[in-house]
Amino acid sequence: MLAPMLRQAGIFLLLMLVSTASFAKEKFQKTAPMHLDHEGERWAERTLKKLSLEEKVGQLFMIWVRAGFLNEENPDFLALRADIAKYHVGAFAMTVPVDGPRLILSEPFEAAELLNRLQKDSKVPLLIAADFERGVSMRLMGTTVFPHAMAFGAAGKTEYAEAFGRITAEESRAIGVHWNFFPVADVNSNPANPIINTRSFGSDPEQVGDLVAAYIKGAHSVGMMTTVKHFPGHGDTATDSHLSVAQVTGDLARLQAVELPPFKKGIAAGVDSVMVAHVTVPALEPDPNRVATTSPAIVTGLLKEQLGFKGIVVTDALDMSGLTRLYADNIGRAAVDAFKAGNDVLIIPPNLEAAYTAVLQAAKSGEIPSARLDASILKILKAKASFGLDKARLVDLENLPKTVGKPANLAMGQEVADDAITLVRDNGKVLPLKASGTADPGLPYQKAEEVRDRVVTVIFTDDLRSDAGRLLGKKIRSRVPDADVIYIDPRVAGAMTEPVLQAVAKAQAVVAAIYVIPTAGKIAKSDGGLKNSVSLPDASGALLEEILARAKEKTVVLAMGNPYLAEDFPMIENYICAFSNASVSEISAVKAIFGEIPIRGHLPVNIPGIAERGAGLERPQSSARGGR
Residue type, 604: P
7-27 pLDDT per residue, tens: 444 433 443 443 334 444 568
Would you call the peptide bond into 183 cis, given omega within 30 degrees of 0 as the criterion?
A: yes
Percent of the chain with pLDDT over 90: 82
Could you write out the DSSP letters of every residue in 201-261? Answer: S-S-HHHHHHHHHHHHHHHHHHT-B-EEEEET--TT-SS-TTTS-EE----HHHIIIIISH
Percent of the chain with pLDDT over 70: 88
Which CATH fold topology does 421-440+449-593 show?
Answer: Rossmann fold (3.40.50)
What are the C-alpha distances in Å from 478 to residues 331, 335, 482?
54, 53, 9
The 3-state DSSP class for residue 628 equals coil
160-197 pLDDT per residue, tens: 999 999 999 999 999 999 999 999 999 999 998 888 99
Distance CA 460, CA 453 (A): 18
CATH of domain 25-403: 3.20.20.300
The answer to whether 394 and 29 have CB atoms below 8 angstroms apart is yes
103-156 pLDDT per residue, tens: 899 999 999 999 999 999 999 999 999 999 999 999 999 999 999 999 999 999
DSSP assigned state of 73: T
pLDDT of residue 536: 86
The answer to whether 311 and 299 have CB atoms below 8 angstroms apart is no
Distance CA 616, CA 604 (A): 10
pLDDT of residue 96: 92
Residues of the chain with CATH 3.40.50.1700: 421-440+449-593
Residue type, 122: S
| Residue 622: exposure state from Cβ atoms within 10 A (0-12, 13-18, ≥19) | middle
586-627 pLDDT per residue, tens: 999 999 999 999 999 999 999 999 999 999 999 999 986 654
Residues forming a β-bridge with 488: 460
Distance CA 158, CA 210 (A): 7
Active-site residues, by number, are 242, 316
The answer to whether 574 and 431 have CB atoms below 8 angstroms apart is yes
335: Cβ contacts below 8 Å, ≥ 6 apart: 61, 318, 346, 349, 355, 356, 358, 359
Residue type, 261: P
Higher pLDDT, 522 or 514: 514
Rg (CA), the chain: 26
Distance CA 444, CA 279 (A): 61
Would you call the peptide bond into 296 cis, given omega within 30 degrees of 0 as the criterion?
A: no
The answer to whether 31 and 173 have CB atoms below 8 angstroms apart is yes
pLDDT of residue 7: 45
What are the C-alpha distances in Å from 244 to residues 21, 132, 235, 321, 322?
57, 24, 15, 5, 4
Query: Exposure string (b/e) for 548-568, b if CB count within 10 Å is 16 or more?
Result: beebbebbbbbbbbbbbbbbe
Residue type, 158: T
pLDDT exceeds 50 at position 449: no
The 3-state DSSP class for residue 388 equals coil
Angle at 317 between CA 322 and CA 165, to 5 degrees: 125
Asked which of 97-101, 213-217, 581-585 is least confident by mean pLDDT, the reply is 97-101
Residues of the chain with CATH 3.20.20.300: 25-403
Distance CA 446, CA 227 (A): 58
pLDDT of residue 460: 96
325-382 pLDDT per residue, tens: 999 999 999 999 999 999 999 999 999 999 999 999 999 999 999 999 999 999 999 9
